[in-house]
Amino acid sequence: MKAELAALISSALEQVVSQGTLADMPETPPQIDHPKDPSHGDLSCNVAMVMAKRAGLPPRELAQQVIDALPTNTLIARADVAGPGFINFFINPERHTEVISRILSEKSAFGRSNIGGGRKVQVEFVSANPTGPLHVGHGRGAAIGDCLGRLLDATGWEVQREFYYNDAGQQIQNLALSVQARAMGKGPEDAGWPEDGYQGGYIEDVANAFAASETVRAADREITASGDVTDLDAIRDFAVACLRREQDQDLRAFAVAFDHYFLESSLYDSGAVDETVSTLVQSGHTFEQDNALWLRTSSFGDDKDRVMRKSEGGYTYFVPDVAYHLNKWQRGFERVINEQGADHHSTITRVRAGLQGLNAGIPKGWPEYVLHQMVTVMRDGAEVKLSKRAGSYVTLRDLIDWVGCDATRYFLVARAPSSQLTFDVDLALARSNENPVYYIQYAHARAASIRRKAQSALGDEAEVAGLDHLDCLCEPEALALAITLGRFPEVVTTAAERLEPHDVANYLRQAASDFHAFYNAHHILEAEPAVLRARLALVAATQQVIANGLHLLGVSAPESM
Residue-wise pLDDT for 78-131, tens only, equals: 999 999 999 999 999 889 999 999 999 999 999 999 999 999 999 999 999 999
Q: Encode pLDDT of 496-520 as tens digits.
A: 999 999 999 999 999 999 999 999 9
What pLDDT was estimated at residue 490?
96
Determine the 3-state secondary structure of 263 from DSSP.
Answer: strand
For residue 456, is pLDDT > 90? no
Number of H helices, E strands in the chain: 21, 17
Q: Under the phi-then-psi rule, with left for phi > 0, alpha for psi from -120 to 50, and beta for the rest, what region is 510?
A: alpha
Residue of higher predicted confidence among 380 and 30:
380
| Alpha-carbon gap, residue 313 to 296, rounded angstroms | 19
What's the whole-model pTM score? Answer: 0.91
Pick the closest to residue 307 from 290, 323, 326 (CA basis). Answer: 290
Domain ranges for the chain, please list them: 2-91, 170-253, 433-553
| Alpha-carbon gap, residue 490 to 552, rounded angstroms | 14
Confidence of residue 465 (pLDDT cuts 50, 70, 90): confident
Q: What is the DSSP string of 291-342?
A: TEEEE-GGGGT-SS-EEEE-TTSSB-THHHHHHHHHHHHHTT-SEEEEEEEG
| Alpha-carbon gap, residue 380 to 183, rounded angstroms | 37
Q: Encode pLDDT of 314-323 as tens digits.
A: 899 899 999 9
Average pLDDT, the chain: 94
Helix (H) or strand (E) holding 416: none
Q: What are phi and psi of 390, to 5 degrees?
A: -80, -30
CA dihedral sign, ordered 391, 392, 397, 403:
positive
How many other CB atoms are there within 10 angstroms of residue 132's CB atom? 25
What pLDDT was estimated at residue 124?
98
For residue 462, is pLDDT > 80? no
What pLDDT was estimated at residue 30?
84
Q: Which CATH class is domain 433-553?
A: mainly alpha
Confidence of residue 36 (pLDDT cuts 50, 70, 90): confident
The distance of Cα 303 from the centroid of its chain, to the nearest Å, equals 30
What pLDDT was estimated at residue 389?
67
| Alpha-carbon gap, residue 435 to 459, rounded angstroms | 34
Q: What are phi and psi of 433, to 5 degrees?
A: -70, -15
The architecture CATH gives domain 2-91 = 2-Layer Sandwich (3.30)
